[in-house]
Amino acid sequence: MPFVAQIDQIRWFAGRDVEAQKNKMKQVDESFAIRLLDRIMANGNPLNAAATQLQAICDQARLVVTNAPVQHPFQLGQQSLWDGYQPNDPDDKASNHIRALAQIHVISQNAVINPLALGDALFALADRFAESQVGGAIGDMRAFMATLQNAQAFSKTTNRIRIKRRDILSPIPPVGITQWYLPADDVLGTIDRMLGYYETGDISGSATNELTMLALAATVHGQNQIADLNAIKDEIVAMMQDGRALAVVAGMVAQLHHSMPEAMMALNLMPRQLRHAGPRITQIYSPFLTNIAFDSIANIYADWQQARWTVLGGQGQRPQNGGRALFILQDIFQMPNAPSDQNEVAMIVPFTYAIGQENPDSINPLIFGVGFYNGVVGQINTANPGPAITLEKLSREVFRMLFPGEFDPALPAQVLGGTIQARVQRGMQLAGHPFANADRYSQLIAPFLDRAEYGQVQAAQIAN
């Protein structure tokens, strides 16, 4: 069942109030992401063993880099994890990532000293494989990681259309939000803007890579022996099912490398069965935080859901099947000619949803999987209003994915109606006064329907 909007409680925002709402949600997500990382890696918690092994890998990398003796090198199959290290070649990318591992400290004396370093360690270890020219088990791992990235969603000629930002800051922080701009026909950029997120680095290949490395660290046994690839595949499925994979998403969000939709969608679009006759992924991650309450982090997850509810205007205790969502309907980055934050438009929609409906192909945003992704792709392919996402591009068709029936709330004319109408007109540079008497959502989008099409993007397909 899709979300059911509580239309009588919808709140509209215009101008700089829109950015204020986005900032509130962003700050809540960042703070709870760090809290989750700190908890889930702590002694006795679900990722402590994996994080401890990851720290041991970093410690051993220091020995390798300093040319100190290594008694029991980490082994993948019959191959040393450090095979191919080039100590005197600064242009060897894989070796540079091994040197990066040598500088990382996540855990010391069984205490988490830097929760954000988890992402750094997983990233460096993943790129140690991805950038390597070595074959054998290392080459097999590199090839496997590539299979986790959905071919359509990661296509750089259609769906993933990110543009490198100009270096306008000195020094520029090396995070996604400062490195990349996502144009109007980028699929995850569209989803980011629609859901009130800052677009950062687009769909996250780092998320799938880092999940693989987290599973690798969790399978170490004996004297630094990493389990075979099939065991790592099964561990990835287990981490998706029990919520440990959320640590990878949290690291991305806390460090501003990717938004929650960018990281979660990458995980949700992975193949659901990673080996023949192996276990299947059925759990799906949602940026609405409508997932089941994961046992290992249930209290933090519940607090996170409550904080989201409260910061978006909810009063009192969040209902078990209730949420609130921020939808950006007119965004500064996509206004033609004279963009201004004074003309941004958004609304907060309270909603209820049915718990326990996890069909991965559903367009239910509780699922946030291939159905939802392809619904947005369909709108990008068919309804081009011009350069903006906003009221017209999302249109009633996208909201039909989210809410049943005719989601067409009346504008609160007595409070913001005239302001909303004026902001739409100014932001989209419309001639005349087509919204003078508009008091419903459908009347605001009407001037933008049946415009020219974008170039076609590809619908995502999930194997297995």
Please give the pLDDT value at position 320. 86
- Give me 70's structure tokens: 């290594």
Residue 456 domain-assigned (yes or no): no
The predicted structure's pLDDT at residue 274: 96
What is the reported pLDDT for 8? 83
Within-domain flag for 59: yes
Cis, peptide link before residue 183, omega less than 30° from 0: no
Pairing outcome for strands 225-226 and 11-14? unpaired
Tens digit of pLDDT for each residue in 334-378?
A: 677 678 889 898 999 999 887 765 555 555 555 688 888 988 888
**Residues spanned by the domain of 52:** 4-448
* Residue 455 maps to a domain: no
Residue closest to 453 by CA, chosen among 380, 389, 399, 388: 380
Model pLDDT, residue 123: 94
Each residue's pLDDT tens digit, 159-199: 887 776 665 555 555 665 666 667 777 888 888 888 888 77
**Cα separation, 289 vs 26, whole angstroms:** 14
pLDDT at 408: 80
Q: What integer pLDDT is reported at residue 6 of this predicted model?
A: 87
Q: What is the dihedral of CA 419, 352, 328, 23, to 10 degrees?
A: 100
153 occurs within a structural domain = yes
- pLDDT reported for residue 227: 96
> Average pLDDT by consecutive 10-residue portion of the chain (464 residues)?
80 92 92 93 92 97 96 94 94 96 94 92 96 94 96 88 64 60 78 83 91 98 95 97 93 88 95 93 88 79 93 94 88 76 90 69 65 84 52 65 76 77 83 79 75 70 80
pLDDT value at residue 387: 45
Q: Is residue 46 part of a domain?
A: yes
Task: Locate 277 and state its tokens.
Answer: 């006759």
Structural domain count of the chain? 1
Q: What pTM does this model have?
A: 0.91
- Examine residue 42 and state whether it is found in any structural domain, yes or no: yes
